[in-house]
Amino acid sequence: KQEVTQIPAALSVPEGENLVLNCSFTDSAIYNLQWFRQDPGKGLTSLLLIQSSQREQTSGRLNASLDKSSGRSTLYIAASQPGDSATYLCAVRNTGGFKTIFGAGTRLFVKA
């Protein structure tokens, strides 16, 4: 059974700092891994999708990596801003179907 873990559960950093969020999963038979952002009481915004055959994806100040063999992904945020404050969720899509498992998320607070 796929389990997805995110560390840390919460993170507070000063503005301008670079930071790394971690996601680990127990079953390496995945189609892809997707990183989302969620603001309080809102829906999820897709940030990056990494296919199982890829090692990393980049979008602006965000860079996500995937090491399928070790069951790990990281989301790197460069030059953090107060507007980056949100909960960041990783989600793993298992092979052979549509089943998607989410991690519990990392709550990020960027101080001005």
Partner 1 sequence: DTEVTQTPKHLVMGMTNKKSLKCEQHMGHRAMYWYKQKAKKPPELMFVYSYEKLSINESVPSRFSPECPNSSLLNLHLHALQPEDSALYLCASGSGQGRKDTQYFGPGTRLTVL
Residues in contact with partner 1 by CB under 8 A are: 31-32, 34, 36, 41-46, 49, 51-53, 89, 91, 93, 97-105
Choice between 46 and 70, CB closer to partner 1: 46
DSSP secondary structure letter of residue 84: G
Residue 74 or 94: the one with the smaller Cβ distance to partner 1 is 94
CB of residue 6 to partner 1, shortest distance in Å: 9
21/89 with CB nearer partner 1:
89
Instruction: Let me know: does 25 contact 4? Beta carbons within 8 Å.
Output: yes
Length of the chain equals 112
**CB-wise, 91 or 108, nearer to partner 1?**
91
Q: How far apart are CA 30 and CA 93, in angstroms?
A: 6
Cα 46 → chain centroid: 10
The nearest distance, CB 93 to partner 1, in angstroms, is 7
Name the CA dihedral angle for 31, 1, 62, 107, rounded to a multiple of 10 degrees. Answer: 150
Shortest distance in whole angstroms from residue 44 CB to partner 1: 4
